[in-house]
Amino acid sequence: MSNTTDPRGLADEHVDVEVVASELVFAGKVWDVRSDTVRYGDGEIVRQYVDHTGAVAIVAVDDEGRMLLIQQYRHPIRRRDWEIPAGLLDIAGEDPATAARRELAEEADLEASRWEPLVSIYTTPGGNDEIVHVFLARGLSATTTAFAREEEERDIRVEWIAIRDVVDAVLEGRIRNGILTAGALAAAERLRREA
């Protein structure tokens, strides 16, 4: 097998397929489940997937090179996993950068003076269409008001951890949140390139 792809042009490829049928299988509180029949190649295939609104996440880095981590209960995995601040793109017309600012304030009572897109990821392309836009936030300061937190967010634990220690925890399998993993590795590389 030969490598014919120019690495400078390496990119996901959009494919237009004819959707023959699409059925709402389940309408949920946060997202839905759909079943689509599509023409692909010489035939048709049926795929069920989570129809997701999309989300944003924030790698907040302070002046000491520490990354903000939060820990909260996540029922599907029955764990309090380490994460980065994140939230749904569930306000009509709100762009991802604005949503990221809102989520950092709501989840961590922080605002940032410097924002930049870091990476966008499909979380589970074989099972849902969720895309998460991860931003790097620096120049952090406390918001003027604290936000009330409910449900799983009531007992959020907040820690500031050196990025190299977060990367070590990821590579050693001690933390497994995919969005945190992508964000931490991308931020570590971005900061390394800036140094």
Query: Which residues are the active-site residues?
Result: 152
Please check whether residue 40 is in contact with residue 60, taking contact to mean a CB–CB distance below 8 angstroms: no
Contact predicate 72/159, CB 8 Å: no
With beta carbons less than 8 A apart as the criterion, state whether 67 and 184 touch: yes
89 burial class (0-12, 13-18, 19+ CB within 10 angstroms)? buried
| DSSP letters for 107-143 | HHSEEEEEEEEEEEEES-TTTB--EEEEEEEEEEEE-
Judging by DSSP bridges, how do beta strands 55-60 and 18-27 pair with one another?
A: unpaired
